[in-house]
Structure 1
Amino acid sequence: MYIKILLLTVYLSFFTSFLPSYADFKNLIPNPSLEEDKDMDGLPDFWEMEGGVKWEKKGCYGKRSVSIFGKGVLRCKIEGIKPNKYYLLSFFVKRDGFRDGEYPYMKIFDQKFYLNELFSFGGWVKLSWLLKSENEGVTDFFLINPGMTHKLWFDCISLIEFSIRPISPLGGKAINGDLVNFMWEIPRTDHILDIEIEVSRDEGFKRKRIIRIASPKGNYCQIKGLNKGKWYWRIGVFKNRKRIFMSKIQTFTVLNESTKPLLKPINKVDTINLNNFFPIGIYGARIEAFSELKEAGFNSVQCYSRDLDTIEKFIKNAKRYGLKALICIPKEAWERDVSSFFSRVRDLESILAWYLEDEPEGRGVAPSYIWRLRDYIFKMDSRHPTALVIVRSKKAWDYGPAVDILMIDTYPIPMMPLTWLSESIDEARRAVFYEKPIWAVVQAFDWSKSRLYGRNPTYEEERCLTYLSIVHGASGIFYYTFKSKNYYIKDYPKHWLDIKRIVKELNKVYPLLLAKDALDISISSNNKSIHHLTKFVDKGLISKYGKGIIKEGYYLIAVNADPISVVAEFRTNCFSKARVLFEERDIIIKDGKFTDYFGPYCVHIYSLI
């Protein structure tokens, strides 16, 4: 164990030459470890407890924590809050079981936050937020169990005003040479923040140079090539492109004339696997099934194994059958040098992406840690992108900056509307500012194998989920799952045939999946149940993939997301006829509109003529 920890330490230090400096940023939470009881009343000082709250004799790190069983509230008053400032809030929480739909929540700054990312249990999980205060100087903080079936524990609570403190250079410091080292201090955070160092010859920063780095990279950077004379500098911090802090202006003086500026490499992945390929994949694929999966029309397969030999075998066989592999980092990377492995695989086109984590938000895996994994992979293999999957789309704002591809695996059937998936895709796309691929992981299994309820999706639901994802901007589709610990899709022959039928259809319209949205065409519908998207298939796609039913031109994909039949009207002034693919019928467009019938969860694909 000591050797593994030592190797891990070396591995993490490989990411950056300088780790962030953590000065004494004040924790505003009174008695944050819940251990002090100076008044000897048998309760943690500064905290109030109501309902099923108990002061426990064992904590996450220290000797104490607080548990809540059934309805209960843990509350304290926090003083010293500055108006309109950003604060880092974090605490450790544990639950001893899970029941779907049951989550605790917290209140702070007069806002309510459900902790629905807490779907793992049995161990302590760290949760953290970056929150903005309002006008209060004092705020009440609540941790609330609304009456869940299972018990909760809380410990190690922290609230720190976010700031960044320049360390060097300060006070007009004279710099010999043309290489300037910049250093600063920031609070410890699991978030990925964008740090911008601005340097300028004028105090108003009318003309400036900006150097951008991500916060997990460290608290240090170098700038080369500054001209002789006085310079001004400051540091701005951004979260999801919103500025959360700007430091005071500092000065320094360069004593020597500059030499050639130092050019920094751009940390960007080759887009070979991102732009010209639409994954149609399946989770839990087995090597012995590759032939069947390829014949069914899948072009991608996912593997959970972290064993190096298994991964190499998986990649080798994926190449043999013309499949692309979504694979994990081998566990041996934590134990020994595996650079020879990466040198063997970095040029293989059979690797789709590196699968860094599976639902990390549920287990408290820090976004900053994922960022460092991605940085490590980039150093080992800059050709292939990285990916992870989340189930809580609100966490896309935290994990989106850490990877190249974000995957969404909300499984709605039978308890939730199918639009849970499309709404999650929408939020994920917003969180990455429409600049990174979002892949949908579509439910293709029965929840009852691991929970008290569930069933396989019907053919109509499966097809609806698939096209609903595409309409809302998914640039890849994976189905979960071929085989897992509790489920094997081939035990359900009809369901497996349904999946293969949909996959065959996706292959028939493959150029359409890669086509750009037709932003020059306006088509509207009078029915909110209908989700639709217009695409244009160009000559380039037809020349490369055009052996099927898709020809050059405009196409409308329309999906009824509701379990009831509807009649929808579409308005467009650009076309005279809509040919319905797979249905051998045409609809005349008259006076700029046409209507069509949609059964429950029905999908229509129109070729617009």
Structure 2
Amino acid sequence: MKITLFLFSFLAAPLLWAGNNLPVCMYGIGKPAELQVLKRAGFNCFQTYEQAPELLAALAAEAGKLNLKMAAYPDKVIGSAYDKEAKDWPMLAWYLYDEPEVRRMPLEELLKLDRRVKEWSPAQRTAFVMGDGIAAFTYGGAADVLMADWYPVPHLDLGSVGQQIALLREGAKMLDAKNPGKPVWAVLQAFDWMEFPQRRAKKVGGFPTFAQVRFMTYLALARGARGIFYFKYASQDGVPLADRPERWDIYGRMAAELGRMGPVFMEGRQTDPPAGLDPALSAAAFKKGGRRYLVLVNSASFPVALDTEVMKGWRPLFEERRGLPSDMPPLSVRILEK
């Protein structure tokens, strides 16, 4: 396996709002009061399943005050009393549909919905989520943004997150050639599978650890995702993540890291990674503001050595110890600067 340098196409990819914000969002917000919690934790956007125009208007008003962006269904807003003002809501994107491949939605129906929303509000973006990246080879020509939700803990290889993002991007390239920088957003796990029905005789589950969430997040970004969502804000019994501090802290820590790294991912110039890195590693390198940044991801099931000469001068970020280790453990991430 050769070192993977992922191309990030910063100038070609349309940004969804001005500035250097990497979308860092929480799924499943239902009340305006919850937005204060998100803001304090460092998030800059959210998704809601609520569709009542009155509630969406209230969410939009509060989001505007807090400088948050939102993703919401347009269906009941179009033609409502909020039809006109909704065109000025702080939208990250209008959320067209949830997993069309699962519901076997004909492509033309999704394209028709996309056209309808664009004709209604051409200045706002559209997006939809797929439950499997392979579906992008059917639906990848629709909407302005593609999303993939993939929740592997504990039953799948964590590295499969990166595979899903890669499939999404390839599907978009094949079916939407006129938009080579089409953004892709990753929807990552913030729940325990034990909360949901399963076909297995013995249910499996477990809430993701910080190390697992961090690995999935940076792997998605390394594979070209330009937005990160975490699913979801409340568990199936209605208890918000924020009421479980040991879980909420995981995502608050990630929001803080991504708030710092966002300008690098969104505005940094792609450069070559250091020559001589172990071929088992995936590497993504950037330059911004006179500094160089390096994202290293070890998706292997074994430790990978870091050559001291190759890594000379690089300093780790977000680590308790500033020195470089001799190797990267399995399923680990290192963010470095120089």
TM-score, length basis structure 1: 0.48
Alignment partner of 1:302 is 2:39: no
How many residue pairs match? The answer is 312
Post-superposition Cα deviations, 1:458-499, rounded to whole Å, max 9, x if no partner, equal 111011011111111110000011025446424543121111
Give me the whole-angstrom Cα distance separating, in 1, the residues matched to 2:132 and 2:318. 35
Select 1:495's aligned residue among 247, 262, 278. Answer: 247
Deviations 1:509-566 (A, max 9, x none): 22222134524555453242x322111214xxxxxxxxxxxxx321111122245543
Is the 8 Å Cα contact of residues 391 and 409 (structure 1) preserved in structure 2? Answer: yes
Counterparts in 2 of 1:566 and 1:438: CA distance versus 1, 3 Å: same
| 2-structure distance, mates of 1:487, 1:564 | 39
How far residue 402 of structure 1 moved from its aligned partner, in angstroms, is 1.0
- Change beyond 3 A, Cα 1:570–1:326: farther
Amino acid paired to 1:281? C
Task: Please state how far the C-alpha of 1:606 moved relative to its aligned partner.
Answer: 1.2
Counterpart among 451, 461, 480 of residue 212 in structure 2: 461
- 1:507 is aligned to 259
| 8 Å contact kept, 2:29–2:49 | no
Identify the residue that residue 154 of structure 1 maps to in structure 2.
Answer: none
Partner of 2:200: none
CA distance in 2, matches of 1:311, 1:576: 52
Residue segments in structure 2 that go unaligned for 5+ positions in a row: 1-12, 174-179, 198-202
Q: CA RMSD in A?
A: 2.5
1:535/1:482 CA distance change after superposition, 3 Å:
same
Comparing 455-464 with 363-372, which one deviates more in the overlay?
363-372
Task: State the partner residue of 2:183.
Answer: 437
Q: Does 1:580 align with 2:316?
A: yes
- 1:510-521 pair list within 5 angstroms: 510-516=262-268, 518-520=270-272
Corresponding residue for 2:24?
280
Report if the CA contact (8 A) 1:536-1:554 is conserved: yes
* Residue 110 (structure 2) aligned to one of 367, 370, 380: 370
Equivalence for 1:343:
84
Look up the SS of the partner of 1:432 in the other structure.
Answer: helix
Closer/same/farther in 2, CA of residues 510 and 272 from structure 1, 3 Å limit: closer
How far the C-alpha of 1:297 sits from its partner, in A, is 0.3
Give the conservation status (yes or no) of the 8 Å contact 1:527–1:569: no
Q: Return the alpha-carbon distance in structure 2 between the equivalents of residues 368 and 522 of structure 1.
A: 46
Which residue number corresponds to residue 145 of structure 1?
none
Cα–Cα, structure 1 residues 432 and 283, in superposed 2: closer, same or farther, change >3 Å?
Answer: same
Q: Structure 1 counterpart of 2:288, which letter?
A: V
Q: Summarize the Cα distance change of 1:445–1:292 in structure 2 as closer, same or farther, 3 Å threshold.
A: same
Cα distance, 1:308 vs structure 2: 1.2
Q: Which residue of 1 aligns with 2:140?
A: 400
The whole-number CA distance in structure 2 between the counterparts of 1:532 and 1:365 is 37
Is the Cα contact below 8 Å between 2:136 and 2:167 reproduced in 1? yes
Distance in 2 between residues matched to 1:271 and 1:586, nearest whole Å: 35
For 2:126 and 2:61, how far apart are their aligned partners in 1? 19
Q: Distance in 2 between matches of 1:393 and 1:354?
A: 20
**Preserved CA contact (<8 Å) 1:302 1:327:** yes
SS in 2 for 1:417: coil
Q: TM-score, normalised by structure 2?
A: 0.84
> SS state of the match for residue 164, structure 2?
helix
- CA–CA distance in structure 1, aligned partners of residues 191 and 215 of structure 2: 15
Q: Contact conserved, 2:165 with 2:184, CA < 8 A, in 1?
A: yes
The SS at the match of 1:289 is helix
Q: 1:512, 1:270 → 2: CA distance?
A: 16
Opposite residue 424 of structure 1, the aligned amino acid is: Q
Superposition map of 1:155-554 within 5 A: 271-273=15-17, 276-286=20-30, 287-331=32-76, 333=78, 337-338=79-80, 341-348=82-89, 350-433=90-173, 434-451=180-197, 452-483=203-234, 485-486=236-237, 488=239, 489-490=241-242, 492-516=244-268, 518-520=270-272, 523=275, 525-528=277-280, 530-538=281-289, 552-554=290-292
Please give the secondary structure, in 1, of the residue aligned with 2:211: helix
Q: What's the counterpart of residue 298 of structure 2?
A: 560
Residue 9 of structure 2 corresponds to which residue in structure 1?
none
1:365 deviates by 1.3
8 Å CA contact 2:94–2:126 kept in 1: the answer is yes
Secondary structure of the 1:346 match is: helix
Distance 1:562 1:494, change over 3 A: farther
Q: Where is the helix percentage greater, Structure 1 or Structure 2?
A: 2
Q: Write the letter of the residue equivalent to 1:534.
A: A
- How far the C-alpha of 1:414 sits from its partner, in A, is 0.5
Q: Rg larger in 1 or in 2?
A: 1
Query: Which structure carries more relative contact order (alpha carbon 8 Å, separation 6+)?
Result: 2
For the residues of structure 1 that align with 2:217 and 2:45, how far apart are their CA atoms? 16
Asked if the contact 1:308/1:330 (under 8 Å) is kept, the reply is: no
Please state whether the residue corresponding to 2:141 is helix, strand or coil: helix
Segments of structure 1 that go 5 or more residues without pairing to the other structure are: 1-268, 539-551, 588-594
Q: Secondary structure at the match of 2:67?
A: coil
- Name the structure where strand makes up a greater proportion of residues: 1
CA 1:341–1:555: 2 relative to 1, 3 Å: same
